[in-house]
Structure 1
Amino acid sequence: MKRITLRADERVIEAARRRARSEQTTLSAAFRVWLAGYALAHQRLQCSDDVLGQLRGQLQVGGMPGRDEMNAR
């Protein structure tokens, strides 16, 4: 695992440490979870966009189908 150095306001760091302790974890562990979610968020959005793009031509938007349309299927 690689180490990184971050800079943040001391009060924010201490508040984050208190929260991590209350959740029975460490600030480092909480940050790793956050970092993984941050890194994967773009990938999840891209997958969603791909699926929506594939469905775009297949979905019909509008009112209820008429009787003829229902019977044609």
Structure 2
Amino acid sequence: MFSFTTKQKKIISWSLFGLAVLAGIGTIFYLFDFIIVAIVLLSLAGLGFFCLMILWFIFERYNKKH
């Protein structure tokens, strides 16, 4: 993350924060036995983390070329 621009760092950081909040809300729903809602929220958070990893690699490749 050393070669990222400030804008790219903000995108990564705020995305991580948002996905962590989403996963936290999903965990709270799970603890209160709202299983279906918890599964949906935790699945969305997991898919979001996966997409964020892809975005991270795209940023790295873009920064190496420029």
Q: TM-score, normalised to structure 1's length?
A: 0.41
Write 1 or 2 for the structure with the bigger share of helix: 2
Query: Larger relative contact order (C-alpha < 8 A, sep ≥ 6)?
Result: 2
Q: Which has the larger radius of gyration?
A: 1
